[in-house]
Structure 1
Amino acid sequence: MELFIKVGHIEPSVIIFDVFGTLVKIEERRSPYRKLMKWLKENGRQPKPDGAKFIMSHNLNLAELTKRLAVNIPDQFLQELEHDLDEELRSIRLYEDTLSTLEELKKLGFRLAVCSNLAMPYGKVVSSFLPSLDAYAWSYEVGAIKPESQIYQYLIDKLQCHAKDILFIGDTLLADYSGPTEFGMSARLIDRKSGQKLADVLSDIL
């Protein structure tokens, strides 16, 4: 189902993009953090409901994270997780239309930003692929995850704009559509799995 809020007479001056499933993809999923949470549960440590939030809202690498969780993870398993993480990071790729679309939007005068829920190691890799943007809201740096209002407010403060000036593009209903629109932004969802491209959801702009 395509969700689309027309910008109407208010022309956006800022476009904010989600990252995974919108601008980049992981070609070889190993899910090391999911494996970690599963291991914790199997070894008697019941994960908290906000376990995923903890991972994505703390600026920690995998080894530091396990220490903060106060668990003694076997070295061999930790090495396995590190290997899985390295393989997954190496398999991150931009969608073919990402750079050209961002360049075109820049030429048209839009300010551009990204807003993503992710663990710290992923942010560094994604940053290396993307061109220089006007703002970056990585959940592990902000200390909040979408759809929490703090992460959207962080972008407002960085960009010194109003929510009504922003168009948010992403692939997740709650984080990239409901959250932004409740905050006062316009929002559109992209469905990469069905072959949709950025130009399809920005057809009235590009």
Structure 2
Amino acid sequence: MAAAGVTTLRAVLFDVDFTLVKPGADLSPEGYRRLGERHGLTLHPERYAEAREQALGHLQRHPELEHDDEIWIAFTERIIRGMGGDAEGARACAEEMTRAWEHHGNFELFEDTLPVLEELRGYGLKLGLVSNTGRNLEEFVAHHRLDVDAALGSRAHGKTKPDPTIFRAVLDLLDVAPEAAAMVGDSLEDDIEGARAVGMRAFLVDREDR
């Protein structure tokens, strides 16, 4: 029985990238180097972390939080240029790498992903995914055999986290009120603050020791 004033938890929503899954070899710094070679670029894997951090600092959201593929292409191009790809091929390389992030097979589950989902299922909880991604999450779920009840990506929805509508859309699919749901993700702004703004509980996961 729930304590007075506390709504019983009925559902848990998860972010996807860096929460349930991690990028595979083709999306690693070495993967960037190999792709760069095909575009005539010499990319330095050891510069990836710094280049990504700088690119994140310049990442511009759509003013209305609409999903915009061009934002992610520009973000990826900044990483490539930061790794040494300051040449004409950087744009085409960024476009191909951005498409690679949409391939289901380019991701690996964290070791605890399936056990955690199974354990939550054992408590009778509904499970959902909500992610800022261009991937078709229903196909992604099928590919990785994830036992969830609903999955929604920002391209399909039209808005990105932390816009409240994407959280509410998944909750509607689950038929669960915000106060009876929790969000788990790796982004303080997108996942934690976004979920709490609609009345959900939220828990931060740090897979990268940030």
Normalised by the length of structure 1, the TM-score is: 0.63
Does residue 82 (structure 1) correspond to residue 96 (structure 2)? The answer is yes
Q: Evaluate the alpha carbon distance shift between residue 152 and residue 80 of structure 1 in structure 2; reply closer, same or farther with a 3 A threshold.
A: closer
> Is the Cα–Cα contact under 8 Å of residues 186 and 206 in structure 2 kept in the other structure?
yes
Q: Provide the C-alpha distance between the structure 2 equivalents of 1:145 and 1:14, rounded to a whole number of angstroms.
A: 21
User: Equivalent residue for 2:62?
Assistant: 50
Alignment RMSD = 3.5
Q: Provide the C-alpha distance between the structure 2 equivalents of 1:125 and 1:23, rounded to a whole number of angstroms.
A: 12
Identity of aligned residues (%): 28
Matches within 5 A, 1:111-122: 111-120=126-135
Q: Provide the C-alpha distance between the structure 2 equivalents of 1:147 and 1:84, rounded to a whole number of angstroms.
A: 21
Does residue 25 (structure 1) correspond to residue 22 (structure 2)? The answer is yes
Letter of the structure 2 residue corresponding to residue 50 of structure 1 = H
Does residue 178 (structure 1) correspond to residue 175 (structure 2)? The answer is no
Letter of the structure 2 residue corresponding to residue 15 of structure 1 = V
**SS of 2:133's equivalent?**
coil
Equivalenced residue count is: 158
Deviations, residues 67-124 of structure 1 (Å, cap 9, x unaligned): xxxxxxx999658743674488443111000011101111111100000001236774
What is the aligned counterpart of 2:207 among 162, 174, 192? 192
Gapped runs of 5+ residues in structure 2? 36-58, 74-87
Matches within 5 A, 1:7-18: 9-18=6-15
User: Equivalent residue for 1:100?
Assistant: 115
Q: Provide the C-alpha distance between the structure 2 equivalents of 1:95 and 1:19, rounded to a whole number of angstroms.
A: 11
State the Cα distance separating 1:185 from its structure 2 match: 0.3
Letter of the structure 2 residue corresponding to residue 104 of structure 1 = E
Letter of the structure 1 residue corresponding to residue 96 of structure 2 = E
Q: Provide the C-alpha distance between the structure 2 equivalents of 1:142 and 1:173, rounded to a whole number of angstroms.
A: 21
Q: Provide the C-alpha distance between the structure 1 equivalents of 2:6 and 2:101, rounded to a whole number of angstroms.
A: 46
